[in-house]
Structure 1
Amino acid sequence: MKFLDPRLFRYSRSSRGFISVVVALALLTTLLTLLQAFTITSVVVDAFQKEKSWVNLQPQIRNLAFIFGLRALIAFFGDSLTRKIGAKIRVELRTQLFNQALSQGTELNLKFGYGKLSLIATRGIAALEPYFNKFMPQLFIALIVPFIVGVTITLKDLASGLIILGTIPLIPIFGILIGKYTSEAMAKKWRTMGILSSYVVDLFAGLLTLKVYGRSKHQKNRIKEVGNQYRVETMKVLKISFLSSLVLELIATLSVALIAVWIGLRLVSGNISLSDGLLVLLLAPEVYWPIRQVSAQFHASAEGLESSREIFEVLEMKPQSKGHRNTLNRLREIRWDSLIIEYPNRAPIQIPRGSAKSGEITLLVGQSGSGKTSLINTLMGLVNPIKGKVWINNINSAYPLHEFDNDFWLSQISWVSQTPHFPHGTIAEIF
């Protein structure tokens, strides 16, 4: 699972500004963290070791208060700004999803289904909020702050720097291992949610038929079964999240404790100064804290990471190639070879050769799932078979269907849905 999908920059212009903002916030956070630690160290050393008076300490205390206030302001305005840009990115992605659905609605429905598409456009987009508002800013802070602070600690005390160098890789290593299971669990949860969504949409579509045959009550147990499966998958994700938090907190706590004990022993023996020891103690938690936070935010935004993959899969779906032919003297016959039609996660559908002549009634007979609807979609040019061709017989010649412009071909035929209905309004308004 990618923390930052490069496809985001392709589909959202606001994402570039978003990255610039979070990088700037990370650098400011690093600078203020160092200034805060140096100022606190200076106040404590001057007060207890140099025994300076309150009056002499006031300028440093004012500086410290200013730094605290500045950190709070940057955190507040930074959070507000990332929320606004994140909301703008979600609007851009949702707009492109709708445009994609308008231009390739049939192809998208055949590949994903109405339920999955509605899930992506609603819950999927909404799940990006914690990803942009929390995870992304914290990710860049975790990339910048620990490195700069760790270098500062090493320059002040090599032994503490070596301890950090030996322990800090454990956090991302365990984070990646646990994140792998989180990614798999979240993908399974998202698939279950998609199944539930598609099932509910199909149930509503066929509710009238189920009512007529008295089978509507039997669907209650099926909905309960799928809903319970979704609950189980959600609890698995939460269990992994709590486990990862425990492991990462334990590593970070023990690492800081090890540094503190080592500094304490050397302070007693006089091998390190109070200012250097205190500075290292103040900065050590700042090395581990951002990484612990990004792990916590990762689990909070894992659904957004998974949904972004689904969103980009929809946006990257290319339209079927259009032909250039836009003339047809007279349609005499549509015939097709032995066709093989393939859908995702389904066995290929094989359709025997056949034909339909103009002016005659052709009846398609077959069991449910044998390919009747798929053949109609193929004859309309909405589905391309992976094997075989559809031929359009003119008066004196025959042309493959894929050579015709889609809009032109659809203007030459009429089609009535399996579930026809009149829209609202009078007959005159409709026609």
Structure 2
Amino acid sequence: MTSFHDTDSDETSRTTPDLDAPWTYATAAARRLTLPDEIEQRLLYPRQRQRATVPFERDDGSRGICEGYRVRHDGVRGPYLGPHRYDLGLTGDDCAGLAAATTVSAAIADVPFGGAAGGIAIDPTDLSRAERVNLTRSYATRVTGIGSQTDVLTPGVGTDERTMAQVADAIAGRPDGPQRGAVTGKPPALGGTRAITRASGHSVAHVTQDLLETDHDRPLSDATIAVYGTGHLGATAARLLEFQGGTVVAMCSDGAGLTAPESENGLDTDLVPSYLERPDALSAYDDGTVTGTENVLGRDADVLVLAEPATVVTAENAETIAADLVVEGATGSVTPGGQSILSERDIPVVPDVLATVGRPIAAHLEWVDSNGRDQLSDARVTNEFGYALTDAVDDVRDRRESCRLSWREAAYSVGLSRVAAAYEVVR
């Protein structure tokens, strides 16, 4: 069981995501809902943990060995669903926190899945393409329970659609037959939907625009945005927000940032991520000022989007945040201590379980198609994805307003109450 992080201050600063945080928020929400003890205990402890030794062959013929994990938090609403990530510092407790967050997010999305998470403790950039394939296939054959009706993998940090294709292929020869539905985020050539590869970025952009225009009475065309993170999620969200009329005034990677002059129209979101990923090229970018990451966090903007899988806002730096709205695009980027201070300063925080609710929505659409339950065109996927996102935000907004909760409290309240309702009918 992962340890709870109940205090309002952070004992140490971390660069890895605070993946204990979902337990803190889930505990508070469960107690606020006054759930029966039996249901509360089921929500606060993972149903199953797996830890596996994952051997693989290296290019030089030597044998590498890594630790692999898969944690299944709760499956009362349907098959488990959750990210598969490659991260050198990954632990079983990290996976447990991610799994709990996925349970809540899937319930907010109102799709028939529970939450799971897993992966391998390794830096994927240290692997050749062949080594990565060998490692992925080894993991898929050693972790039990992966399947379209049991536990469905989605891409996470350090993995992509190729990883999902390799997992699907590795288990295709099992006695229970092909398992196309055992993974989502597959390449379109293997039955994947194009929407899911961009789901998190689309979700963050959609939720940001919805809250700005509905709750802050500010059209996106008049809004300024700072984005912390230049990976796939951050770059996609920045481009979409700019495309819809927003002005991105600052962006940063985990090592350097760029800000636009106050009098200019903003950064070019098509170019900036590539410059920030290559620090030696920053001096060649003429339309912005090179700065530290802390200056991006403290930039005076309407919205701060946190899109880096790292602890970003803590009790130590939350006072420096100058945005009117913080959107948490990565689990654990705001610690409970940081959340507490932002709440005291009346800065709303959109939690990851709502900001990235598009991930389980897109996964469900692909899963339905892969299992032959319906044939979905790209146009239909796009439409249903957008409608489901809007419904999820509206559900949380209604709970927030009726119960006078923060966005995070309301999101966890909606998610856990739906899981609890499922337990009530099966008891």
Asked if TM exceeds 0.5, the reply is no
TM-score (ref. length: structure 2): 0.21
Structure of higher CA gyration radius: 1
TM-score (ref. length: structure 1): 0.21
